[in-house]
Every structure is written in C-alpha cells, then in structure tokens.
Copies of this chain bind each other. A is one copy, B any other.
Amino acid sequence: MSKNLVVQKFGGTSVGTLDRIRKVAERVARTRAEGKQVVVVVSAMAGETDKLLGMARALCESPARRETDLLLSSGERISAALLAIALQAAGCPAISLTGRQMGMLTDSSHTRARIIQIDAERVRRLLRDDHVVVCAGFQGINPEGDVTTLGRGGSDTSAVALAVALESEICEIYTDVKGVYTADPRIVPNARKMSRLSFDEMLELASLGAKVLQIRCVEFAKNYNMPIWVRSTFDETDPGTLICEESPDMEQPVVSGVTYAKDQSKVTIKGVPDQPGIAAKIFCALADEGISVDVIIQNVSAEGHTDISFTLPAAHIRETMPVMERIAGEVGAREVTSDATIAKVSIVGAGMRSHAGVAARMFRTLSDHNINIQMISTSEIRVSCIIQQKHLEEAVRALHDEFQLGEDARAEPQATAAGERRKAI
C-alpha cells in the first residue's frame, strides 16, 4: 500500500467554471505541497454531458451507443486538460491523461462499460517523475481501441478503480455536498450528515437513489476494501463522510438513512399464461438488451394466467417497451402497460440484521399516512416500498421521523471523521 499517494476525484460542479477549476487546482497543489503524490480524476464540467447528450438526441431518437461514447467522453477530456493547465499555472507539474492513456481497459458495452483491468504503468511513471496526474474520469477503451464510457456517474468508479490499481490508502471524492445524509436535505430539513457508514449501507443508499456516489464505485470499493472519503469541494473544514468496512466499534443504528428513487417506471405484463419458463424468457430478453430491472412481483395465478410487474429507471422505458411487446406476443400475454407515476422509498441500516420488526414499523408508518404500498422488496439491510410518486416526500419525512434520524433526535458521535479515519484504516 502506498501511504504517500492519494486519489482525489472532483465532480462536475467542482470543475463547473474556470474559477472553480482554479480553486480545485489550488487544493490539489496544497495536497502535493504536503508531500503527497496526487492522482486526480475529474468529471465533465457541470451541464456538459447533458448538453452533448441533448445534441445527440436532437439528431437521432436513439443515437448509436458507440458514437454516444465518443461524444460524451469529450467532456472529461476537456476538464482534465483544463485542470492540468490550471495546475501548471499554479506552478505544479501536471499532465492530463485520457481513459486510454491511464490504461482503463473496459468491455465493449458502450455507454455502460465495465472495467476489465487498469494498466496504470504510465500513471506510476509520471508519479515517480513528480507529476500530478489528472485523469479523465468516466471513460475507457475496449479491446478494439474504441472509446467506452462507464455510465452516469462513472467518474467515481474510475477514481476508486484507479485508487485500487495504485494501491492508494484512500480515495477522496469531492462533491458539492458535505457528505452522506440520513435523507435528502431538500426534502427533510433536519437530515443529519453521517460521519461514517459501512460499504454495505452506502451500497444500499447508492442503489436507491442517493446521488452522492454511483453504486458501482461503492461495489468496487467494497470488493477491494478501498475506503472512500466523501467531502465538500467548497468547505475544506467539514470532515465529510467516511465509507469503509464495517468494524465492531462502528455505531450500528437500526436504520441509518431514508432514501428514495423518483425516476422509476413500472411495467406490467397482464394475462401471462402461468407456465414454467415465462419469467425467465421475459427477464433474459431484458438482460440481453442490457436493461436492469429493480423490483419484480408476480401475482397469484388466476385461471391459468398471471400478471408480472417490475420496476426500472424511467430512462430505460423506451428501450424496454418494444422488447416487452415482442415477448408478450411470443408468450401469448394479453397486454403490456407502463406506469411512470411511481417512486421508491427505502430505509437502510446495518443494524437491521439484528433487529426484528423494522419492516413492519415502516409499513405501519406509511399506512398511518394513508400511503398505499404497491410493491415491496427487501435485502438484509434494506426495506423498499413502491408507492405513488405524489406521496414520496411525505413518506420520506415520515420515515425519517419514525426512525429518529434527524439532527434534533440524535447527537453526532464525538469523534471527528479524521480521527475515525485513522482508526478505520
């Protein structure tokens, strides 16, 4: 493990203007002045990816994924080059590397590629030569040499993967919030920032819509036990949130946070013949298209037919419906419907493993607020309910209160994150 090396990732808001790029450069230069080797991973400037994607979609309803990757990857190349230039202006020897140059080899699933390996030899050489290495996040190349991207928020994954490849001690993720909260502060005013939580908890939070970190980045961090320190780019004094392995001395509240996912759609195939293999047929077809589904329920069969519903991100509904129409025809189902008025609310907590009745308490709370539960899904440390979107904010607030997560309800642990960080590693 390289004690002297740190990987710092800066998100789109952090490099959103030239002024902010200058500030980031100063911060990176300070870290280097403290004697650290620094590898920086950057996202595209805020709004850039959406702008590029908007242009592609204006030209073609479903732009080819290979060309979309080439298009979008420009965003991170631009911010990497600009940050390297700003660092040089600050007297800091810096060099910018593309996905290819940083050795980020991925598979060929354009727009959602998975990392195969990182050949970080060039990064290591540049570090030995005393450079700050600024890497374009979000992108890699496939074995054919074509540009790929890792999917939305993929720069987090780039950063953690690079931290692992370089045997860094920690991966610092700088963002426009101060850390991970018990709930979205825009919805729950008294939401509390957590000083520390486990990979598993963060994994559930990330997969459920907490926008702070991309789920794959947390998976990666968990698999390789790479601590992630989420911090604010703009508030250097705030200790942020440390995400690391669960340790016996870690506080384990029954519920750590309430989270939600808004942009969800529900697809229902009605009148499916109740025969073995039908569900497999449906979900294999979706998997073949690279579409991930979330919650699945199958109704009790009536007269040899049943209904199957599942949820998925609303963004994938356009590619999903033609697949479902085809499958419905093949299996003799009656019809396929979709509903975009749903949302998912979830409670997450490592403490659930050892506490019974948490789910029941959640259901009762929603029921007390006259909120109907359409679907339920659970994991070891999470309970999720699909509800009508219009009830979402009320549900989040009610659950946050019920499990006493607010600032007023529970004191922040005394230890600073920095102190805990030393303990954790």
Q: Is the CB of B88 within 8 A of A68?
A: no
Q: Is the CB of B88 within 8 A of A81?
A: no
Which residues of chain B have C-beta atoms less than 8 A from A71's C-beta?
77-78, 81-82, 85
In which size bucket is the chain A interface?
Answer: 35 or more
Q: What is the predominant secondary structure among interface residues of chain A facing chain B?
A: helix
Which of A94-102, A180-188, A194-202, A325-333 sits within the interface? Answer: A94-102
Q: Is A66 an interface residue (CB 8 A)?
A: yes
- A70/B81 contact (C-beta < 8 A), A21-B59, A59-B18, A86-B60 known: yes
CB nearest neighbor in B for A69: B81
Q: How far is the CA of A89 from the CA of B21 in the complex (A)?
A: 37
Q: Is A119 an interface residue (CB 8 A)?
A: no
Which of A50-58, A269-277, A339-347 sits within the interface? Answer: A50-58
Which residues of chain B have C-beta atoms less than 8 A from A61's C-beta?
89
Contact of A59 among B70, B74, B80, B86 (CB under 8 A): B86
Q: Is A263 an interface residue (CB 8 A)?
A: no
Q: Is the CB of A67 within 8 A of B55?
A: no
Q: Is the CB of B70 within 8 A of A80?
A: yes
Q: Is A145 an interface residue (CB 8 A)?
A: yes
Q: For residue A333, give the distance in angstroms from its CB to the closest CB of chain B.
A: 32
Which residues of chain B have C-beta atoms less than 8 A from A80's C-beta?
70
Q: Is the CB of A145 within 8 A of B100?
A: yes
CB nearest neighbor in B for A45: B55
Binding site for B on A (CB under 8 A): 18, 21-22, 52, 55-56, 58-61, 63-64, 66-68, 70-71, 73-74, 77-78, 80-82, 84-86, 88-89, 95-96, 98, 100-101, 145-147
Given A71-B77, A71-B81, A71-B85, 19 further pairs, Cβ under 8 A: A18-B55, A52-B78, A59-B89, A60-B85, A60-B86, A60-B89, A63-B85, A63-B89, A64-B88, A66-B95, A67-B85, A67-B95, A68-B81, A68-B85, A70-B77, A70-B80, A70-B81, A71-B82, A73-B77
